[in-house]
């Protein structure tokens, strides 16, 4: 069923009848792992090892020409035909619609949820990632601090937007946990985790964000997702 996907030549499925996940437990990867765990869909994870440049191999590029994780193959896609898909936001919407979970059926609330998903995709992910580069990785060696300050200030602005949105709400959309939350919390996690920037960004003052983050990150599915796929 999956023989037409070249990626399976490098990552051979043990069970080709279930969703194949090609990923790494980065914020974007965790989003999809968390969604799969939340929905209860059967899936098989495959580690795309950046240290081995797996994302640049012809097999991976055959599924995602943009060489980014995560990507999936669903052997039971639309109309029952196998389908490959990349971009974490697109995958979240797809899985939500496939299962009828974590995306409101009411049209207005559905688009409001997607709006916050796009906010994460267009703002939080790119800006938090650039901040991480200039704070924790190679960019920290650059003497000119203007790039660092630019991204630090933008991260703080985005966190303030999120904190304001969560005022009086359990989750981004209110009482219901949705793909908007699933998209955002892994990126908030990396700020205080891998980037070690909790104090620098004054995140202790963001009461709503911290309350919401604890609720999201401590869900059983979330606790599993942060280690999927397992690193060798």
Q: What is residue 225's predicted lDDT score, i.e. its pLDDT?
A: 98
Closest by CA to 136, choosing from 122, 152, 124, is 152
pLDDT at 232 over 80: no
Q: Please write the tens of the pLDDT for every residue from 144-187.
A: 999 999 999 999 999 999 999 999 999 999 999 999 999 999 99
CA 40 and chain centroid, separation: 17
Average pLDDT over residues 84-105: 98
DSSP class per residue in 3-15: TT-GGGGTS--S-
Average pLDDT over residues 31-45: 98
Q: How far apart are the C-alpha atoms of 186 and 23, rounded to whole Å?
A: 14
Closest by CA to 27, choosing from 179, 176, 161, 188, is 188
Q: How far apart are the C-alpha atoms of 155 and 201, rounded to whole Å?
A: 8
Phi, psi for 169 (deg, rounded to 5): -125, 140
Confidence tier at 11 by pLDDT (50, 70, 90): very high
Beta carbons of 59 and 11 less than 8 angstroms apart: yes
Q: Within a 13 Å sphere around the CA of 43, how many CA atoms are in the beta-carbon half?
A: 25
Q: What is residue 40's predicted lDDT score, i.e. its pLDDT?
A: 98
Tokens of 5: 């996907």
pLDDT at 82 over 80: yes
Confidence tier at 3 by pLDDT (50, 70, 90): confident
What's the DSSP call for residue 171? B
Q: Please write the tens of the pLDDT for every residue from 189-222.
A: 999 999 999 999 999 999 999 999 999 999 999 9
């Amino acid at each position: 069923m999956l023989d037409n996907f070249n990626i399976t030549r490098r990552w051979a499925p043990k069970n080709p009848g279930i969703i194949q996940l090609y990923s790494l437990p980065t914020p974007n990867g965790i989003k999809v792992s968390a969604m799969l765990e939340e929905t209860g869909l059967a899936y098989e994870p495959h580690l795309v090892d950046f240290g081995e440049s797996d994302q640049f191999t012809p097999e991976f590029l055959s599924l995602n020409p943009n060489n980014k994780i995560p990507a999936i193959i669903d052997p039971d896609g639309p109309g029952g035909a196998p389908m490959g898909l990349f971009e974490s936001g697109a995958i979240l919407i797809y899985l939500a619609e496939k299962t009828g979970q974590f995306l409101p059926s009411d049209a207005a609330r559905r688009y409001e949820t997607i709006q916050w998903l796009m906010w994460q995709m267009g703002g939080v992910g790119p800006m938090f990632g650039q901040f991480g580069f200039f704070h924790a990785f190679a960019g920290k060696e650059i003497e000119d601090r203007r790039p660092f300050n630019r991204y630090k200030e933008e991260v703080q602005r985005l966190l303030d937007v999120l904190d304001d949105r969560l005022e009086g709400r359990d989750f981004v959309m209110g009482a219901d946990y949705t793909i908007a939350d699933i998209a955002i919390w892994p990126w908030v996690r990396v700020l205080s985790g891998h980037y070690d920037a909790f104090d620098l960004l004054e995140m202790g003052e963001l009461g709503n964000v911290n309350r919401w983050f604890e609720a999201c990150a401590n869900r059983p599915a979330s606790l599993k997702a942060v280690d999927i796929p397992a690193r060798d």
